[in-house]
Amino acid sequence: MRVLFLSQRVPYPPNRGDKITTWRLIERMRRTHEVRVVAFAHDDEDRGAARHLSGLGIPTTAIAIDLRRQKLRALPLLVGSRPLTLGVYGSKELQRVVDELAPSCDIGYAYSSSMGAFLEPHAHLRRVMHFAELDSDKWRQYGERSRWPMSAIYAREQRTLLAFERRIAHSFDENVLCTPLEQRVFEREIPGARSLVMRNGVDLAFYRPQPERAEPGHLVFVGVMDYLPNIDGCTWFVREILPRLRARCPTARLSIVGSRPTPEVLALGCEPGVTVTGFVDDPREWLARASVSVAPLRIARGIQNKVLEALAMGLPVVGTTSATQGVEGEPGRDFLLANSVEEQVAAIARLIEDPQLARKLGAQGRAFVESRYDWGVALKPLDELLARLR
């Protein structure tokens, strides 16, 4: 079959959460189907990646997007009922490309609800909406943690985007979520629409334990650092948790590893015991040198790739409920759960003070992801889905 795949970013290289998942989906599809990609290019790297994918035999059309400009252009939508998201990711050029390609394709596969909008006019296609998580619920969480006027803007986006998500969920052939928890939220908010769970995976050959390289007291957080949940989590950790932890464990230090750190994140690097790296070629180097991975996210759901990758590296993970609830492991066996400042300090200090316990927890985490999150297993539902849509 011929699959038209739409994504918010060119799905290569697999160096951030959404690109990891979209690349794996495409790589799996192309084994037995023809795949054509249409995506937004956010920078020169994306444009180069699009050419690379085309060279691999995956024809890819990249449409340039300037998010800052698009956000300004979307502001007039505040006086209506259309979600800002559809204004930010709206594109007549991308719609034109989709309209030209759709008649020659059998399946339209949209990753993220904003991309589903481009498939709405093409009811002749078998259409799949890969939500992963409901973006409307993300805006609800943002609203609950923000002050006015942003709280009001986020609340409006939650309402308007949910109305759109309901419309496309009922009109598409299938809706894909990344965890049973996300599926429960979907079924609560959009009752009666079809859905299935397709978990994320982790490259177990790429992420391998290197316990001999762990540095005592070295904590690591890996993630794209212009993403609000990551900014919020790291700021909370550095301002509230790390000073108390260092009072108990003076060797404790944190490396914040990830591209595009905002000024707020860069400022954290001035705090005692904190390093902000910015972009690194290979985050595994920092994971290997750490003795504990922290995931102090307060705004999140779905599967956090950062947690899966740390577990695959054999690192003990200390995370909040928000960071770990999409990972179907057992707290206390596969990772440590800590939501309050006091719980975070106690859990991390326990691992720093007892290296044998840290190694044991890390080994259990690795065994857990081996049993549940190998990509070959995670994407079996995709094969079944495409076969059903023939």
State residue 220's pLDDT score: 98
Regarding whether 239 and 165 lie in a shared domain, the answer is no
Q: Is residue 297 part of a domain?
A: yes
Q: Is residue 336 part of a domain?
A: yes
State residue 145's pLDDT score: 86
Amino acid at 245: L
Regarding whether 360 and 247 lie in a shared domain, the answer is yes
Say which DSSP state 214 is in. P
Q: Is residue 181 part of a domain?
A: yes
Regarding whether 144 and 258 lie in a shared domain, the answer is no
Q: Is residue 254 part of a domain?
A: yes
State residue 303's pLDDT score: 74
State residue 390's pLDDT score: 85
Q: Is residue 8 part of a domain?
A: yes
Regarding whether 321 and 240 lie in a shared domain, the answer is yes
Regarding whether 95 and 11 lie in a shared domain, the answer is yes
Q: How many domains does the chain have?
A: 2
Regarding whether 330 and 230 lie in a shared domain, the answer is yes
CB 26 within 8 A of CB 379: no
Element (H, E) at 63: strand 60-64
Regarding whether 226 and 139 lie in a shared domain, the answer is no
CA gyration radius for the chain?
A: 21
Query: HSE (CB half, 13 Å, CA atoms) of 268?
Result: 30
Q: Is residue 206 part of a domain?
A: no
State residue 93's pLDDT score: 98
CATH classification at residue 117: 3.40.50.2000
Regarding whether 252 and 156 lie in a shared domain, the answer is no
Prior bond to 13 cis, omega within 30?
yes
Regarding whether 183 and 278 lie in a shared domain, the answer is no
Regarding whether 275 and 168 lie in a shared domain, the answer is no
CB 29 within 8 A of CB 5: yes
Regarding whether 189 and 311 lie in a shared domain, the answer is no
Residues of the chain with pLDDT under 50: none
Write out the residue range of the structural domain in which residue 321 sits.
211-372
State residue 15's pLDDT score: 86
Amino acid at 74: A
Backbone angles phi, psi at 36, to 5 degrees: -120, 130
Regarding whether 381 and 341 lie in a shared domain, the answer is no
